[in-house]
Amino acid sequence: MSLDHESIALIQYSLEKLRAELPTGDTRFYDRLFQINPEMRGMFRDDIAGQGMRFMSTLAVITDALTTPNVFHDEITRLAEGHRAMGVKAAHFAPLGDALFDTFRDVLGTDFTAKIEEAWREAFVIIAARMMEPAETAGR
């Protein structure tokens, strides 16, 4: 499964815009995530502000890497190992995606179009599948 160039361009453009407009230390993405799925709060440290920025910057690295399969593979493999060790499951990706899309809507308003959302949904399916693959089969 792969994304076409237009979808990748929409993903990169929208994330760049979101990151430019989110104030440093902004926690609304996590606030929304824990509202959607309160049980996930306990998995994260109490001070969530720095984590929020790391999520966004890593998301940028991963989505940029969508255009270069080998880089994508390395980044995803590293991230996947840590997340599997923390007990992250495939079912956790849907609430995370929904929280991200609500954050996009909140910050970008009507600039977050249905087409951009669709591109992100496809990307999330790919990222989730790669992060949840058993390590021994990843990348094959």
Q: How many residues of this chain bind ligand HEM (CB under 6 A)? A: 19
How far is it, in rounded angstroms, from Cα 95 to Cα 108?
20
Task: By CB under 6 A, name the one of 79, 80, 99, 107 that touches ligand HEM.
Answer: 79
Q: Looking only at residues 85 through 114 of this chain, which bind ligand HEM when binding is defined by CB under 6 A?
A: 86, 88, 92-93, 96
**Tally of residues, the chain:** 140
Structure tokens at 126: 């790919």
| Shortest Cβ 70–ligand HEM spacing (Å) | 18
Q: Which stretch binds ligand HEM (CB under 6 A): 16-24, 75-83, 101-109, 111-119?
A: 75-83
Mention every residue, 6+ apart, whose C-beta is less than 8 A from residue 15.
56, 59, 60, 63
| Shortest Cβ 14–ligand HEM spacing (Å) | 14
How far is it, in rounded angstroms, from Cα 62 to Cα 78?
11
Contact between 126 and ligand HEM per CB under 6 A: no
Task: By CB under 6 A, name the one of 45, 85, 110, 136 that touches ligand HEM.
Answer: 45
- Would residue 87 be called left, alpha or beta, if left means φ above 0 and alpha means ψ between -120 and 50 degrees? left
Task: By CB under 6 A, name the one of 71, 83, 84, 133 that touches ligand HEM.
Answer: 83
